Amino acid sequence: MTRVFSGVKPTGHLTLGNYLGAMRQWAEVDQHRSDAVFCVVDLHGMTVDHDPARLRRLTRQTATLLLAAGLDPRLCTVFVQSHVDEHARLSYVLECVATDGEMRRMIQYKEKAARERERGGSVRLSLLTYPVLMAADILAYGAGEVPVGDDQAQHVELARDLAVRFNQRYGHTFVVPRATLPTVAARVMNLQEPASKMGKSDDSGPGIVYLLDEPDAVRKKVMRAVTDSAGEVVYDRAGRPGVTNLLEILAACTGADPERLSADYSSYGALKKDTADAVVDVLRPLQERHRALCADPAYVDGVLREGAARARGMARPTVDAAYRAIGLLPAV
């Protein structure tokens, strides 16, 4: 069975973008058809200025939301990255295979480093090496498929390159992974700035639908989404990003085709209303499960404890093999 691996960073409250671009696919498809492993990647949450107490809180909240979104520990493995040492162990080995030029070319590094410098801060070294740790996450589990949103495709490509390079130099050790993107909503845009991704670490609240937003807040945000003055509902990502984003969200929530949907609407108001209703409907069961899970913290602890134990068992043989292949003397 194909091994699937994916992760989510606990750096903010999860958004509709995280759900439609990744988590929904994990819950509805991946866990049923593959040996799937999902990780709250807390080590990745320390690559920019962070508050320790907030990181800890968000790690738990993110894990709870993964379960609320429908991940079922009887079908898949759910755990926290820092609970499994293999990620950090393998990351260092892969740093000895990657180059600094490769790291500096990563779009997310360039954007985030520029933002840190604009704020007058310094750039943590871990921001530069972030994609190597991400490659370690994927390669440690022998994952063939990595279901992600569009913004992570370049990082998965790097994981591929590192796997191929390691295998060529030191002998076949890693499965070569590939990214699998959803056909609709692979890049959900900010409702207020439809040229930018809807990101959980951003500050612009009114443009971001959070998974735990109340129905009224969701409706307000969607009804106030920025569109354009053309007045005609047309699917055109480059020319009409605001309207196209709404069509993508509505299509993803209802299982329709976004281009075909555009023919059903003659006004932005009707499109926004249906989109708001569809988002509220999609979030309702998730929010109900979230409430129930918050009332049972011992259950979430148990899932994470068992998930980490299972994950260690999967990752250790591959990471040990990589240590041997690259020339490290096994401990006796």
Residue positions in the annotated binding site for ATP? Answer: 9-11, 17-18, 149-151, 188, 197-201
**SS3 state at 174:** coil
Residue 146 contacts ligand TYM per CB under 6 A: yes
**SS3 state at 76:** strand
For residue 115, the Cα-to-chain-centroid distance in whole angstroms is 20
What is the token pair recorded at 75? 């079908």
Could you give the CA distance from residue 85 to residue 320 in angstroms, rounded to a whole number?
12
Indicate the residue type of 47: T
For residue 164, the Cα-to-chain-centroid distance in whole angstroms is 24
Residue 151 contacts ligand TYM per CB under 6 A: yes
Residue 318 contacts ligand TYM per CB under 6 A: no
Q: Please give the C-alpha separations between residue 149 and each of 25, 164, 184, 187, 293, in angstroms, as whole numbers.
A: 10, 23, 10, 6, 26
Could you give the CA distance from residue 145 to residue 41 in angstroms, rounded to a whole number?
17
CB of 170 to ligand TYM, least distance (A): 22
CB of 121 to ligand TYM, least distance (A): 19
CB of 19 to ligand TYM, least distance (A): 8
Residue whose C-alpha is closest to residue 81's, from 39, 37, 46, 50: 39
- 200 is known as an active-site residue: yes
Could you give the CA distance from residue 51 to residue 332 in angstroms, rounded to a whole number?
40
Could you give the CA distance from residue 300 to residue 238 in angstroms, rounded to a whole number?
42
Please say which residue, 138 or 278, places its beta carbon nearer to ligand TYM: 138
Please say which residue, 199 or 242, places its beta carbon nearer to ligand TYM: 199
Residue 197 contacts ligand TYM per CB under 6 A: yes
CB of 278 to ligand TYM, least distance (A): 16
Residues 12-71 that bind ligand TYM (CB under 6 A): 17-18, 21-22, 41, 44
Please say which residue, 3 or 187, places its beta carbon nearer to ligand TYM: 187
| Active-site entry in 112, 220, 272, 273 | 112
Q: If residue 234 lies in a helix (H) or strand (E), which one and from where to where?
A: none
- 221 is known as an active-site residue: no
First to last CA, the chain: 34
Q: Is 327 left (phi over 0), alpha (psi -120 to 50) or beta?
A: left
Please say which residue, 22 or 211, places its beta carbon nearer to ligand TYM: 22
Residue, CB closest to ligand TYM: 21
Please say which residue, 41 or 271, places its beta carbon nearer to ligand TYM: 41
Annotated binding-site residue numbers? 9-11, 17-18, 137, 149-151, 188, 197-201
Could you give the CA distance from residue 90 to residue 140 in angstroms, rounded to a whole number?
7
Stretch that binds ligand TYM, among 109-117, 196-204, 209-217, 312-320 (CB under 6 A): 196-204
- 112 is known as an active-site residue: yes
CB of 182 to ligand TYM, least distance (A): 8
Active site residues: 112, 197, 200
Q: Give the residues lining the site for ligand TYM (CB under 6 A).
A: 5-9, 17-18, 21-22, 41, 44, 134, 137-138, 146, 148-149, 151-152, 155, 186-188, 197-199
